[in-house]
Structure 1
Amino acid sequence: MKSFLWLLIGVAIGFAVAHKVNETPKGREFFSTIDRKARDFGEAVTDGYRQREAEIRSAIQGD
């Protein structure tokens, strides 16, 4: 339980620091860059999943 409490404290401190950093122009730019990269990564994973799913469906239907 003690570890969980420390985890919650760390998360709360992290959010507070991120909020303060986001108030600066460089901070907004930093988080914007991170957000863009995360979205690009998510889209790449989704595209790869859909392509592989189509390949598997094609192989199953082809037999």
Structure 2
Amino acid sequence: MKSFLWLVVGIAIGFAVAHKVNETPQGKQFFSGLDKKARDFGSAVSDGYRKREAELRSAIEDAEA
């Protein structure tokens, strides 16, 4: 229970610090870049998933034929 409390306190402090950092121009630039990288990564994972799914569906159709 004590560990969970420290985890919650750490998360709260992290959010507070991130909010304060985001108020500065350099912080906004940092978080903007971080957001772009995260979105690009998510998009790449999603595209890879769709490609692989199409390959597997094609292989299943070929095997059935």
User: Under a length normalisation based on structure 1, what TM-score does the superposition of the two structures give?
Assistant: 0.99
Q: Spell out the pairing of 1:15-30 with structure 2 (5 A cutoff).
A: 15-30=15-30
Q: If you compute each CA radius of gyration, which structure gives the higher value, 1 or 2?
A: 2
- SS of the residue corresponding to residue 55 of structure 2 reads helix
Q: Spell out the pairing of 1:1-63 with structure 2 (5 A cutoff).
A: 1-63=1-63
Q: State the 4+ residue runs in structure 1 displaced beyond 6 angstroms.
A: none
Taking the aligned partners of 2:3 and 2:62, their CA distance within structure 1 comes to 53
Aligned residue-pair number: 63
Give unpaired runs (5+ residues) of structure 1. none
Q: Which amino acid is 1:26 matched to?
A: Q
- Alpha-carbon RMSD: 0.3
User: Under a length normalisation based on structure 2, what TM-score does the superposition of the two structures give?
Assistant: 0.96
